Structure 1
Amino acid sequence: MAIPEFLMKAYFDNTLYQYLIFLVTVAAAVIFSRIIYWGIQKFVKKIAAKSKNRFDDILISVSEKPVVVYIILFGVHIGWGMLSFPNFQKIPVYYGHLMYMSVVLVTAWFVSKLLRGIIDTYLKPFAAKTTTDLDDHLIPIIGKLVNIFAFVIAIIMILEHFGQEIGPLLAGMGIGGLAFALAAKDLLSNLFGSITIIFDKPFKVGQRIKLDGFDGFVEEINLRTTRLRTLEGRKLYVPNAKFTESIVENVSQEWARKVKFEIGLTYDTNAVKLKKAKEIIRKILIGHKDVNSEKVFVHFTEFGAYSKNITVIYWITDKDNILKVKDDVNMKIMQAFDRAKIEMAFPTQTVEIKKSK
C-alpha cells in the first residue's frame, strides 16, 4: 500500500508519516495502560486480597497508577525511536532530560506511596494499640516527611543529572541561610507549633476545642496546620503557631458541663410556694441520673423588675447528650410547676389610674 504523498513531507528531519507512527505508538501505549489498570482493578486486587500477606495488597494498591504512567512513558520512548533529528541535535538532548525527569519523579511518587502504604497498614494499627497518644500524632507527620524525603531525593538526582554538584549548592545555601530563615519564619513557627502540640498534648485528634472564637473538633494535626471541623460543619485550617500564641480551651476535657439559668416566678407567689418551687427544682436535679447530685445550687437570689428570681446552677455529666439532658430537666420542672400551680412570670406592668377629685 502506497503512502500518501502529503505524509512524506518532512519537518524537523522527519516525515509526517514518522510523526504519525510516533503518535499511534503513544496512543497504543495509553490504551494498553488502561487495559492493565482495568485488569489490576478487576482481577489482580481480588487475587491479592485472598492471600494472608498484606504487603502484596499494599504493593498492588500503590503501584496501579504509577504503572499506568510507566507504560505511557515506555510507549513514548518506543515511538521516539522512530524519529531522528540529525540537524536538530538539541531536540534529542531536551527529550532525554525530560524523559529522565519524568521517570525519576514517577519513581519518587511510587516510593512515597509505597512507604505511606506500609505506614498506614503496619504502623497505624500498632500505634492504636499503645497507651500513649504520642505515636498517634507522630505517624501522620512521619508520613508527610516520607513524601518530602522521596521528592527531595528525586530533585537531587535531577540536579545531578543536569551537572549541578550538590556539595557547592548546599554550601551556597549557607550564604543565603539568613535570608531563607527570614522567609521561612512562619513555616518554622508552625513546625515548632506542631512539635509543641505533640509533646505538650493540649488536645488530640477527635477532641473539641475553642480557639480565638472558633469552636470545633480536631480532625488532623499536620506539620504546618491543624484541621478542625467547626460545629457548623465547615473545615478550618489553623496554623500551628496559633496554638503557642493563643489560649486553647479543650472542651472535651471538661469533667461536666455547667448549666446556669434563672426562673422568674410571679410577684403573686408567696413564700410557701417559692420555697416549694426551690424544693421541686432541687429534687428533680438531684434525682436525675445525668446530673451531678453533689453540685446542685438552687437559691432565691433577686427581686426582679417583673419577677421573683430563682438562680439554678448544676452540672451535666453526660457530655454527649447536653441538649437532651437540659430538655429533660426543663420539661420536668415545667410539668412539676403546673401540678403545683406555681406560675412563671413574664414582663408585665401595672397601671394605676387615679381619678381627679
Structure 2
Amino acid sequence: MENRKNITDSRRRRIRFGLRWSAAFALLGSATAWAADTVTNTVAESASAATNRVARTKTWMTFGLDRVHFLRSELLGNPIWQYLASLIYIVLAFYSSKLLDYLVQTQLRRWAARSQLKINDLLVDLLRGPIKIIAFVVLLHVGLRVFEWPEWEAGLISKGLKIIVGYSLTYLALKLVDLMMGFWEQRIAAAHGGLLDVQLIPVLRKTFKIFVVVVAVLVIAQNLEMNVTGLLASLSIGGLAVGLAAQDTLSNLFGAVAIFADKPFRIGDQIQLDSIAGTVETIGLRSTRVRNGEGSLVTIPNKNMAAANIINVSRRPGIRTVMNIGLTYDTPAPKIERALAIIQEIFRSHAKTADLLVTFNKFDSSALNIQVSHLWNSTNFNEYAQGLQKLNLELKRRFDEEKMDFAFPSHTVYLRQDSQWQVANSHEQQEEPQPVRPSAGRPAGG
C-alpha cells in the first residue's frame, strides 16, 4: 500500500510539474505572439498636416507616451517617446528574465535534489547565468520590434543583440568544459589517483576552450555578415608562418602528447636518462622538470624526453641489493657455513625481504667471497636505506660474536735470504774495467 501511495504521489508531482511548465511556456508564447502581431496604423490627422504622418501605435504598447505632446519631438530621426518606451521594455525584459530564471532554478533545483546526483547540481548552477541573459535578450528583441527604427539603428541593435547572445552561449560552453573536466578529474582521482592523467586535464581544458572560442568567434562573425572565408584564409597563412617559425615548440608539444599518451612515467616517479637522475615534478606542454639528487631543478625539452631511453626507477617491484661479504682465508669451512646461516637468518627475519639468495660463490684474491642478493619489498628509498643500515649493523654484531673476521685487500711479501746464492753470485762477478783518466789541460767528459 505504501509503495502504491508513493507511486501515486510521484505521478501527481510529475503531472503538476508538466502543467506548470506548459503554462509558463504557453504564457511566454502568447506574450511573444501578442508583441509580434502588434501593428502600426498611420492616418492623416488633418488636411494641413497631410505631409506629416504620425504612427498611432496602440496605447497599451506605447504606455501612453505617444500622447504626450513634447515627447513627440524627434531625436536622431525617432520621437523621444519611443526611446522612453524602449527603456521601459529594457527594464521589463530585465525583471522578466530574473523572474523566469527564478522559476526555472526553483524547478530545476527540486529535480536535482530528487536525483541526488552532484552533476545535476553543477548543471543547475551552470545554467543560471546564461538562461537569464538569453531570456533578457529574447524579451528585449520582442519589445523593440514593436517600433519602427531607422535602418542603421535597427542594424546596430540587431548586431548588438547577436553579440550578447553569442557571448552568453560561449560563456555557457566554456563553463560546460570546466564542468566536464572537473567531473573527469574527480573520477580519475577517485579511481586510481593517476597523477599524469590529472595533469593532462588542464592541457585538455585549455585546448577545448581555445577551440570553443575560435568556433564562437567564427560563428558570430558570420552572423554579423563578415567575410569569414577571408578570415580563415588569413589564419591559414598566419598559421603556416607560425608553424615554420616555431618548429621546436611544435616538436615539444608533440613530445608532450606522446608522454601523456604512452605514460612512461608519472609525477613523483624517479627516473634516469643520460646523465640526469631525479624525481619528476611537472610535465608541461614544452618541457618536463626533474629534481635531481642535489636539489637542483633540471628542465628537459619534451622532444628530448620522447626520444630518450628512460629508466623508471619507481616502476620496479622493489629495490634489489647485491653485496659481497669477504671472509679471511684462515676461516675454516664450518665457520663459512655458520656465516651463511647467520646471513640467511638476519635478512629473512625482516618484514620487507621479498627475495633472498646467499651463496659462497668464489675464492677472491684476498677473501673468501659470500654474495648476498636481497630484494626489498618497497620502492621508498629512504625506508630502504634505513632498513639496510639496521641489517648491516646486526650482521656486524653477529659476526663479532662468532669471532669471524672480514677480509680486506692485502698482499703478503716473502723475504728470502740464501747464503749459497750470494756465494755463487759473487763467483760470477767479473773484474770491473778501470776508468780512463783524462789528459792534462782537458776537462773530463769533454
Alignment partner, residue 257 of structure 2: 195
Assess if the C-alpha contact under 8 Å between 1:207 and 1:252 holds in 2: yes
Alignment partner, residue 407 of structure 2: 345
Alignment partner, residue 294 of structure 2: 232
Residue 116 of structure 1 deviates from its aligned partner by 11
Alignment partner, residue 189 of structure 2: 128
Higher relative contact order (CA 8 A, sep 6+): 1
SS class of match (2:358):
strand
Give, in whole Å, the separation in 2 of the partners of 1:327 and 1:284: 12
Residue 303 (structure 1) aligned with residue 366 (structure 2): no
Assess if the C-alpha contact under 8 Å between 1:220 and 1:226 holds in 2: yes
Structure 1's 176 and 119: CA in aligned 2 closer, same or farther, altered over 3 A?
Answer: closer
Give, in whole Å, the separation in 1 of the partners of 2:310 and 2:358: 31
Structure 1's 299 and 127: CA in aligned 2 closer, same or farther, altered over 3 A?
Answer: closer
Assess if the C-alpha contact under 8 Å between 1:119 and 1:143 holds in 2: no
2:308 counterpart letter in structure 1: S
Residue 310 of structure 1 deviates from its aligned partner by 1.2
Assess if the C-alpha contact under 8 Å between 2:317 and 2:378 holds in 1: no
SS class of match (2:353):
coil
Structure 1's 143 and 178: CA in aligned 2 closer, same or farther, altered over 3 A?
Answer: closer
Q: Which stretch of the first structure deviates more once superposed, 182-191 or 315-324? A: 182-191
Q: Which stretch of the first structure deviates more once superposed, 224-233 or 125-134? A: 125-134
Assess if the C-alpha contact under 8 Å between 2:178 and 2:205 holds in 1: no
Assess if the C-alpha contact under 8 Å between 1:264 and 1:345 holds in 2: yes
Alignment match of 1:336 (pick from 374, 378, 398)? 398
Assess if the C-alpha contact under 8 Å between 2:340 and 2:359 holds in 1: yes
Give, in whole Å, the separation in 2 of the partners of 1:227 and 1:146: 25
1:331 counterpart letter in structure 2: L
The share of aligned pairs that are identical, in percent, is: 35
Structure 1's 248 and 356: CA in aligned 2 closer, same or farther, altered over 3 A?
Answer: same
SS class of match (1:347):
coil
Residue 318 (structure 1) aligned with residue 385 (structure 2): no
2:376 counterpart letter in structure 1: I
Give, in whole Å, the separation in 2 of the partners of 1:149 and 1:177: 15
2:370 counterpart letter in structure 1: I
Structure 1's 230 and 148: CA in aligned 2 closer, same or farther, altered over 3 A?
Answer: farther
Structure 1's 302 and 131: CA in aligned 2 closer, same or farther, altered over 3 A?
Answer: closer
Residue 195 of structure 1 deviates from its aligned partner by 1.7
2:189 counterpart letter in structure 1: A
Assess if the C-alpha contact under 8 Å between 1:226 and 1:239 holds in 2: yes
1:300 counterpart letter in structure 2: F
Give, in whole Å, the separation in 1 of the partners of 2:341 and 2:190: 49
Residue 334 of structure 1 deviates from its aligned partner by 0.7
Residue 250 of structure 1 deviates from its aligned partner by 1.6
Alignment partner, residue 99 of structure 1: none
Alignment partner, residue 58 of structure 2: none
Give, in whole Å, the separation in 1 of the partners of 2:347 and 2:192: 36
Q: Which stretch of the first structure deviates more once superposed, 249-258 or 298-307? A: 298-307
Assess if the C-alpha contact under 8 Å between 2:253 and 2:285 holds in 1: yes
Structure 1's 334 and 253: CA in aligned 2 closer, same or farther, altered over 3 A?
Answer: same
Give, in whole Å, the separation in 2 of the partners of 1:242 and 1:151: 32
Assess if the C-alpha contact under 8 Å between 2:277 and 2:292 holds in 1: yes
Alignment partner, residue 249 of structure 1: 311
SS class of match (1:319):
coil
Give, in whole Å, the separation in 2 of the partners of 1:182 and 1:334: 65
Alignment partner, residue 159 of structure 2: none
Residue 255 of structure 1 deviates from its aligned partner by 0.6
SS class of match (1:353):
coil
Residue 316 of structure 1 deviates from its aligned partner by 0.7
Give, in whole Å, the separation in 2 of the partners of 1:115 and 1:291: 51
Residue 189 of structure 1 deviates from its aligned partner by 2.1
Q: Give the CA RMSD over aligned residues.
A: 4.0
Q: Which stretch of the first structure deviates more once superposed, 140-149 or 222-231? A: 140-149
Give, in whole Å, the separation in 2 of the partners of 1:286 and 1:151: 63
Alignment partner, residue 272 of structure 1: 334
TM-score (norm 2): 0.47
Give, in whole Å, the separation in 2 of the partners of 1:235 and 1:148: 31
Alignment size in residue pairs: 248
Residue 218 of structure 1 deviates from its aligned partner by 1.8
Alignment partner, residue 30 of structure 1: none
Give, in whole Å, the separation in 2 of the partners of 1:289 and 1:168: 72
Give, in whole Å, the separation in 1 of the partners of 2:244 and 2:414: 75
Alignment partner, residue 276 of structure 2: 214
SS class of match (1:262):
strand
SS class of match (2:324):
strand
Aligned pairs (5 A) from 1:284-295: 284-292=346-354, 295=355
Assess if the C-alpha contact under 8 Å between 1:115 and 1:146 holds in 2: no
Give, in whole Å, the separation in 2 of the partners of 1:151 and 1:187: 22
1:189 counterpart letter in structure 2: S
Alignment partner, residue 61 of structure 2: none
Assess if the C-alpha contact under 8 Å between 1:140 and 1:222 holds in 2: no
**Gap regions ≥5 residues in structure 1:** 1-52, 55-113, 157-163
1:267 counterpart letter in structure 2: Y
